[in-house]
Amino acid sequence: MLIEYSLNVAREIEYAGKWAFSRNPAYYNFDKLGGDCTNFISQCLYAGGAVMNYTPDTGWYYGSLNNRAAAWTGVAYFYRFMLQNKKAGPYGRTVPVSEAQPGDIIQLGNSAVFYHSLLVIDIRHGEPYIATHTYDAFDRPLSSYQYQQSRCIHIIGARKYV
């Protein structure tokens, strides 16, 4: 049976604070392979209680550099998984960035492609503050970034089999 549950956002943010400026040795560092931002975001969601989805090709999981889902590390694949997932693992929906909440994911892009994932850790005076890897940051205001487009994935929760 598949059940839905909420993620522990406080644990996500705690994990982000611990690892924002370093790398957890349990995971490969993708900085030299296109960036580590979405890998870090996936780690944060996992720390918040999300279970992995081991569906070949379309799942969300990490075992090693050579045993992982594209959605664990790739910006576009992560987005697609979060919006389309109906099985185990986290899931969400798009909302305007103005509606972002702690635990949500903001992705930044240029006119052609989205290229960076950020974890919302706080909202102050209507502005998201984020944590991320590649351009390592914790408690950085979204307004300090330069980008052409943004989208926000509101993480509704996760599902697991019991």
User: Which tens digit of pLDDT belongs to each residue from 113-123?
Assistant: 999 999 999 99
Alpha helices in the chain (DSSP H): 9-19, 37-47, 70-73, 75-84
pLDDT at residue 98 in the model: 98
Q: What is the residue whose two structure tokens read 């690892």?
A: 19
Q: Choose among 17, 39, 45, 16: nearest CA to 27.
A: 39
Residues 68-112 pLDDT 10s: 999 999 999 999 999 999 999 999 999 999 999 999 999 999 999
Region of residue 118 (left: phi > 0; alpha: psi -120 to 50; beta: else): beta
Alpha helices in 20-151 (DSSP H): 37-47, 70-73, 75-84
CATH 3.40.50 matches 2-161: no
Domain coordinates in residue numbering, the chain: 2-161
Q: Is the pTM of this model over 0.85?
A: yes
pLDDT at residue 22 in the model: 98
Q: Residues of the chain with pLDDT > 70: what percent? A: 100
